[in-house]
Amino acid sequence: MRMRKKKWARPELEACPWAVLDSDANRGRWRSLFPKDQPLHVELGCGKGVSTAAMAHAEKDVNFVAIDISTDVLGVARRNVAARYGDEPVDNLRLAVKECSFISQAFSGEDRVERIYISFCNPWSQRERQKKRRLTHPRQLMQYRDFLVDGGQIWFKTDDDGLFDDTVGYLAQCGFTIQYLTRDLHASGFAPNYVSEHEAMFTAQGVKTKFLIAAKGPLAEKPDVLGRKKRPAPEITTICYLEKDGKCLLIHRNKRESDGNYGKWLGIGGHFERGESPEDCVLREVREETGLTLTEYAFRGVVTFVSGDWVEYMHVFSATDFTGSLAADCDEGEVCWVEKEKVPGLPMWAGDRIFLRLLDEGSPFFSLKLIYDDTGLAAAVLNGKALAL
Ligand SMILES: C[S@@+](CC[C@H](N)C(=O)[O-])C[C@H]1O[C@@H](n2cnc3c(N)ncnc32)[C@H](O)[C@@H]1O
């Protein structure tokens, strides 16, 4: 439930010497905010600071930074801490405003944090996509790794079984080792435990507190924290349409049935090799596939092919002269000179007919995007403008 706006909260925090409104300004310098150089523990989503106040007051040999996204909530925490400390100076606790999704903006390895507390954070269990917002999600844990010392711990409490079980998995993925785990903290005898506001509330409803301690260990493999599907890298290719004496040099891709272009007629070309320019690539491809060396050629345009996850950027050349003689064999298909007027009648991709027309018309340098779906050519966009199909 969202807390009512508290007009007094921000002014009170601004006037409070142990509250930090600009957390990012202290990145790498948190230790210098405390009079005593002692272990640094950070609480994420501290809420109204009920347990924070008790813990910091009881453990004066530790410096604490208690973070929450909401100034209204932190304002209440400030009052709770002030009440707990009374006349004693609050010199081992700082209340800090920060959205923990971006915690790396506020903490770095130089802060050498020894422990992180996360208590009763929002489980975000309703939808799979929302789980990324959990304070124990791998995208968070990987940030915490950066400012936790080796062996540094996460102390995690929750009422939520699903979040607890998932967190055990998240921790393993991110190189943390579970050192202690209980599904009923209050029956476990673990001490000291500082009961938080939500812990008290759930306990009163008969919900057990799940609790674990995990330590940062070595990371075998960096997890894919965004859970994004790995997409194939775009392919980068050249193609050349060589014309001479009213004929066009084409390849009939008829050697391998597994070839995606099987049965189609195409110009000569292929994939870039590392470090090649479009010209390097087209010259090499034409030489390898036909035995010819281009002597007159021009870079005419770029075709962007999209089909589902597959993307290809094809650099289109035309050529009018060459040296050498046509090689007898090409392992991709049959290379042959075709009368120009017969070219439109050959089996080829619908999109290829569009850029062949542009070449024929002597079009200036063009950018053509061709989108294919299961049914064939779904869209064509020339120099940013959709073409009617
Ligand atoms: C359910 S309360 C728990 C408060 C306290 N830890 C407890 O156990 O009673 C969750 C707290 O986390 C804070 N919070 C939620 N998401 C946050 C985020 N991304 N960054 C910082 N604080 C967050 C909320 O403002 C709220 O005060």
Are residues 144 and 177 both part of a single domain? yes
Are residues 366 and 264 both part of a single domain? yes
Are residues 135 and 46 both part of a single domain? yes
Q: 318, 357 in Cβ contact below 8 A?
A: no
How far does the centroid of ligand 1 lie from the alpha carbon of residue 47, in Å? 5
* Rounded mean pLDDT, 183-191: 98
> What confidence score (pLDDT) does residue 1 get?
53
| pTM for this prediction | 0.65
pLDDT at 376 over 70: yes
Last residue of a domain, one of 163, 183, 216: 216
How far does the centroid of ligand 1 lie from the alpha carbon of residue 241, in Å? 63
Higher pLDDT, 376 or 57: 57
Output phi, psi for 222, to 5 deg.
Answer: -65, 125
> What confidence score (pLDDT) does residue 268 get?
96
Are residues 284 and 346 both part of a single domain? yes
Measure the CA–CA gap between 119 and 294, rounded to whole angstroms: 70
pLDDT at 259 over 90: no
Q: What is the mean pLDDT of the chain?
A: 94
| Secondary structure of residue 216 in the 3-state scheme | strand
**How many structural domains is the chain composed of?**
2
* Residue 3 counted as domain residue: no
From the alpha carbon of 103, which atom of ligand 1 is closest? Answer: 20
From the alpha carbon of 50, which atom of ligand 1 is closest? Answer: 9
* Rounded mean pLDDT, 246-261: 88
Hey, which of 74, 122, 185 would you mutate to test ligand 1's pocket, going by the most ligand atoms within 8 Å of its Cβ? 122
Taking CB atoms and a 6 Å cutoff, what residues make up the pocket around ligand 1?
45-47, 67-70, 73, 99-101, 119-122, 196-199
> What confidence score (pLDDT) does residue 2 get?
60
* Residue 228 counted as domain residue: no
Are residues 184 and 240 both part of a single domain? no
* Rounded mean pLDDT, 43-67: 98
Are residues 165 and 269 both part of a single domain? no
Are residues 69 and 180 both part of a single domain? yes
Output phi, psi for 187, to 5 deg.
Answer: -95, -5
Are residues 244 and 323 both part of a single domain? yes
Q: Give pLDDT tens digits for 319-357.
A: 999 999 998 777 888 999 999 999 999 999 999 999 999
How far does the centroid of ligand 1 lie from the alpha carbon of residue 179, in Å? 24
* Residue 225 counted as domain residue: no
From the alpha carbon of 43, which atom of ligand 1 is closest? Answer: 6
Measure the CA–CA gap between 129 and 47, rounded to whole angstroms: 24
For residue 312, give both structure tokens: 């290809």
> What confidence score (pLDDT) does residue 232 get?
81
pLDDT at 274 over 60: yes
How far does the centroid of ligand 1 lie from the alpha carbon of residue 46, in Å? 6
Last residue of a domain, one of 160, 181, 216: 216
Are residues 272 and 189 both part of a single domain? no
Are residues 157 and 239 both part of a single domain? no
Last residue of a domain, one of 216, 248, 282: 216
How far does the centroid of ligand 1 lie from the alpha carbon of residue 121, in Å? 5
* Rounded mean pLDDT, 92-107: 95
CATH code for the domain in which residue 161 is found: 3.40.50.150
* Residue 1 counted as domain residue: no
pLDDT at 300 over 90: yes
Higher pLDDT, 298 or 328: 298
* Residue 2 counted as domain residue: no
* Residue 100 counted as domain residue: yes
The half-sphere exposure of 141 on its side-chain side, counting CA atoms within 13 A, is: 31
Q: Which of 126-135, 145-154, 220-229 has the highest mean pLDDT?
A: 145-154
* Residue 245 counted as domain residue: yes
Kindly report the protein residue whose alpha carbon is nearest to atom 4 of ligand 1: 47
Q: Where are the beta strands (DSSP E) in the chain?
A: 19-20, 40-44, 63-68, 93-97, 113-119, 148-158, 176-182, 210-216, 235-244, 247-252, 265-266, 268-271, 293-307, 310-323, 334-339, 366-373, 376-382, 385-386
> What confidence score (pLDDT) does residue 256 get?
81
> What confidence score (pLDDT) does residue 185 get?
98
From the alpha carbon of 46, which atom of ligand 1 is closest? Answer: 6
How far does the centroid of ligand 1 lie from the alpha carbon of residue 32, in Å? 26
Burial class (CB in 10 A: 0-12, 13-18, 19+), 154: buried
Kindly report the protein residue whose alpha carbon is nearest to atom 10 of ligand 1: 121
Q: Give pLDDT tens digits for 203-231.
A: 999 999 999 999 999 998 888 776 656 67
Kindly report the protein residue whose alpha carbon is nearest to atom 14 of ligand 1: 45
> What confidence score (pLDDT) does residue 227 get?
60
Distance of CA 139 to the CA centre of its chain: 9
Other Cβ atoms closer than 10 A to 35: 9
Q: 240: Cβ–Cβ under 8 A, 6 or more apart, which residues? A: 267, 268, 269, 282, 285, 286, 294, 297, 316, 317, 318, 319
Worst-scoring range by mean pLDDT, 113-117, 240-244, 257-261?
A: 257-261
> What confidence score (pLDDT) does residue 106 get?
95
CATH code for the domain in which residue 294 is found: 3.90.79.10
* Residue 230 counted as domain residue: no
Kindly report the protein residue whose alpha carbon is nearest to atom 12 of ligand 1: 45
Are residues 84 and 199 both part of a single domain? yes
How far does the centroid of ligand 1 lie from the alpha carbon of residue 173, in Å? 24
- Using a pLDDT cut of 70, give the percent of the chain over it: 98
Hey, which of 121, 134, 159 would you mutate to test ligand 1's pocket, going by the most ligand atoms within 8 Å of its Cβ? 121
Q: What is the pLDDT confidence band of residue 285, given thresholds at 50, 70 and 90?
A: very high
How far does the centroid of ligand 1 lie from the alpha carbon of residue 71, in Å? 11
How far does the centroid of ligand 1 lie from the alpha carbon of residue 133, in Å? 12
Higher pLDDT, 232 or 59: 59
From the alpha carbon of 68, which atom of ligand 1 is closest? Answer: 22
Measure the CA–CA gap between 146 and 103, rounded to whole angstroms: 10
Domain hosting residue 273, numbered range: 235-386
How far does the centroid of ligand 1 lie from the alpha carbon of residue 244, in Å? 73
Are residues 189 and 116 both part of a single domain? yes
Kindly report the protein residue whose alpha carbon is nearest to atom 26 of ligand 1: 47
* Rounded mean pLDDT, 251-265: 86
> What confidence score (pLDDT) does residue 228 get?
58
Higher pLDDT, 113 or 228: 113
Locate tokens 């996204």: which residue? 69
Output phi, psi for 381, to 5 deg.
Answer: -130, 120
> What confidence score (pLDDT) does residue 347 get?
92
